[in-house]
Structure 1
Amino acid sequence: MRYLMIVKATPMSEAGAFPPDAEKLFAEMAEFNNELIAAGVLLDGAGLKPSSAGKRVRFQGRGNTVVTDGPFAETKELIAGYWIIQCKDMDEALSWARKIPFDDGEVELRPFSEPEDFEGLVTDEVMEQEKAWRDDQAARAPKADA
């Protein structure tokens, strides 16, 4: 099962600033990411630019959208980065989340809705296509160097 580990934004990340010990933190994050890759768990991960570089698209009826430029006010509701990991269950995903080398901050852990969750709601053809896309994503995931 896939899980999204969501790194919550902070006032510092929203300012586009790095902590004073950024070099040490980046080295620890590289080590953590390499551990995820070596374990065959990491599917994707990245840091995100501050919300000032983003836009929100609000839908108000089909085809009617409103675009709002960042920055966005509620830092606690923003995302500064993420990992997508493949684990057997929530306990395994939680064990990885606990290893993130943060001194402070918050990470939210959420399972993906998988194609099987929609069984009976979509056709078998749609289910197979969704599974094929998921398998393709997994095949493209980073691999540890041999």
Structure 2
Amino acid sequence: MKYLVMVQGSQADYEGMAGRGSAGSPAWDKAQLQAMFDHMNAINEELTSTGEMLDAQGLAAPSTTRFVTVDANGDPVVTDGPYAETKEVLAGYWILDCPTLDRVTEIAAQVARCPVPPGSPDHPVVIRPIDETVPTLD
């Protein structure tokens, strides 16, 4: 079965990783960043070798986000970030093909063990099964 495994974060986390800490997220140093990248790369290499990884991406900072809606006339309404009211956003994801929910939960726990600086917020790793059913219009 296919699963979407999502890592949460915030704009403050991205700022902290750029060395600009705040009350919401401490500043990371180069060694801490390298430890995080090494951890995630090891997971990616394992998942590639087992054939479970279909895709994985880290996402750019929430401040680069663009929301697109439409007005009453169907014309686009575009709003740029950052969004102070948004506490958590999607920071990265994996699309995995795993035999069981238990296996993907093991992987999510491995992701959650990623090294971070002391005082970093604790963001969940979210698992969502991908619905591959094809709806019928009977």
**TM-score of the pair, normalised by structure 2:** 0.74
3-state SS of 1:121 partner: coil
Aligned residues: 120
Structure 1 residue 37 corresponds to structure 2 residue 53? no
The structure-2 alpha-carbon separation of the partners of 1:33 and 1:61, relative to structure 1 and needing over 3 Å to count, comes to farther
Q: Structure 1: how far apart are the matches of 2:84 and 2:73? A: 27
Q: Structure 2: how far apart are the matches of 1:47 and 1:80? A: 6
The structure-2 alpha-carbon separation of the partners of 1:8 and 1:110, relative to structure 1 and needing over 3 Å to count, comes to same
Q: What are the residue-to-residue correspondences of 1:89-108 with 2, within 5 Å?
A: 89-100=100-111, 101-103=113-115, 104-108=122-126
Give yes or no for contact 1:16–1:49 (8 Å, CA) kept in 2: no
Counterpart among 54, 58, 61 of residue 50 in structure 1:
61
Q: What are the residue-to-residue correspondences of 1:87-126 with 2, within 5 Å?
A: 87-100=98-111, 101-103=113-115, 104-114=122-132, 116-118=133-135, 120-121=136-137
Cα deviation 1:89-123 (Å, max 9, x = unaligned): 32221111111142443211111121x252x238x
Cα deviation 1:7-65 (Å, max 9, x = unaligned): 11134334272533111111121111101111111111111111111201123468332
2:33 aligns with 22
Give yes or no for contact 2:66–2:81 (8 Å, CA) kept in 1: yes
Give the AA of the match of 1:4.
L
| Stretch moving more, 84-93 or 11-20 | 11-20
- Which ranges of structure 2 fall in alignment gaps of 5 or more residues? 19-27, 116-121
1:7 aligns with 7
Q: What is the alpha-carbon root mean square deviation over aligned residues?
A: 2.3
Q: Structure 2: how far apart are the matches of 1:83 and 1:36? A: 10
- Which ranges of structure 1 fall in alignment gaps of 5 or more residues? 123-146
Identity %: 36
**TM-score of the pair, normalised by structure 1:** 0.70
2:97 aligns with 86
